[in-house]
C-alpha cells in the first residue's frame, strides 16, 4: 500500500479518513466514518458491506485511451483500509454495472495522473458485469501474476 497518502483537511493521521469535507462551493459533501464500514460515503462513492460503489457517466468518466475505468488512488486505499474487497462502478448512461476485486485492480491496473490526482485504472477487460463473476476472476487469478504496469511493480501499491 502507498505509505504516503495525500492529506485532506480534518483527516485522522494515517487513516485517509475525515469526518466531513466540503469541495469548494459545491453542495456535495463527503462523509467518512472510520468506525462504520457497513454504509458510509467515501470520496467519490459509498461503501456498503465489503463493496465500494461508485456512480459515473461513461462518456465523461471512462478513460478512452486505453479504455478503462479509474478510481482515485487515495479513495481506493481508504476503502481497502475499511475492509472493502470489491469495487462496483455503475455507468448511468449505459445502465450497466462494472465489478472488480481490489486484488485484480492492484495486479492488473496502472497508476496515472492526468491532472485530477493519482488514479488507478483497470482496462475494461478486467471488469465483470456481476459480483459473482468478479469474485470468480479473483479466485482464478494466478498467485504469481505480475502487475500490468511498471509503476505498480515499483512498490507504489504493495
CATH number of the domain to which 117 belongs: 3.40.1350
Position 13 in a domain: no
Task: Show the 3-state SS of the chain.
Answer: CCCCCCCCCCECCCCCCECEEECCCCCCEEECCCCCCCEEEECCEEEECCEEEEEECHHHHCEECCEEEEEEHHHHHHHHHCCCCEEEEEECCCCEEEEEEHHHHHHHCEEECCCCCCEEEEEHHHCECCHHHHHHHHHHCCCCCCCCCHHHHHHHCC
Q: Which domain holds residue 60?
A: 51-156
Position 151 in a domain: yes
Residue 45 has pLDDT above 70, yes or no: yes
Residue 113 has pLDDT above 50, yes or no: yes
Question: Model-level pTM?
Answer: 0.66
Number of structural domains, the chain? 1
Position 61 in a domain: yes
pLDDT at 118: 95
Amino acid at each position: 500500500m502507498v505509505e504516503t497518502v495525500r492529506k485532506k483537511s480534518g483527516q485522522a493521521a494515517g487513516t485517509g479518513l475525515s469526518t466531513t469535507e466540503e469541495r469548494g462551493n459545491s453542495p456535495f459533501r463527503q462523509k467518512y466514518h472510520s468506525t462504520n464500514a457497513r454504509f458510509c460515503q467515501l470520496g467519490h462513492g459509498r461503501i456498503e458491506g465489503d463493496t465500494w460503489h461508485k456512480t459515473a457517466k461513461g462518456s465523461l468518466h471512462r478513460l478512452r485511451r486505453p479504455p478503462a475505468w479509474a478510481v482515485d488512488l487515495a479513495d481506493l486505499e481508504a476503502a481497502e483500509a475499511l475492509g472493502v474487497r470489491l469495487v462496483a462502478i455503475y455507468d448511468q448512461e449505459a445502465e450497466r454495472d462494472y465489478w472488480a476485486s481490489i486484488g485484480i485492480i492492484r495486479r492488473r491496473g496502472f497508476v496515472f495522473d492526468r491532472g485530477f490526482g493519482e488514479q488507478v485504472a483497470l482496462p475494461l477487460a478486467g471488469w465483470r458485469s456481476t459480483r459473482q463473476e468478479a469474485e470468480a476472476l479473483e479466485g482464478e487469478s494466478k498467485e504469481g501474476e505480475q502487475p500490468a504496469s511498471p509503476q505498480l511493480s515499483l512498490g507504489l501499491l504493495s
